Amino acid sequence: MIRVLRLLIVTALISPTLFAADRSADEQKIWSLEHDYWHFVQANDLEHYRGLWHAQFLGWPYVSPEPVRKDHITDWMTDRTGRGESLKSYYLERLPIQLVDNVATTTYRIKMIWSDKRGVEQPATVRVIHTWLCSPSGAWQIVSGMSAPVDAEGH
Look at residue 106 and tell me if it is in a domain.
yes
Look at residue 154 and tell me if it is in a domain.
no
Q: What is the pLDDT of residues 14-35, one digit of tens each?
A: 444 444 556 689 999 999 999 9
Look at residue 75 and tell me if it is in a domain.
yes
The total number of structural domains that make up the chain: 1
What CATH number should be reported for the domain holding residue 133?
3.10.450.50
Look at residue 121 and tell me if it is in a domain.
yes
Q: Which segments within the chain are labelled E, that is strand?
A: 53-60, 68-69, 86-100, 103-115, 121-134, 140-149
Look at residue 73 and tell me if it is in a domain.
yes
Range of the domain at 6: 2-149
Look at residue 78 and tell me if it is in a domain.
yes
CA nearest neighbour of 55 among 70, 66, 68, 74: 70
Look at residue 107 and tell me if it is in a domain.
yes
Q: What is the pLDDT of residues 49-102, one digit of tens each?
A: 999 999 999 999 999 999 999 999 999 999 999 999 999 999 999 999 999 999
pTM of the model: 0.83
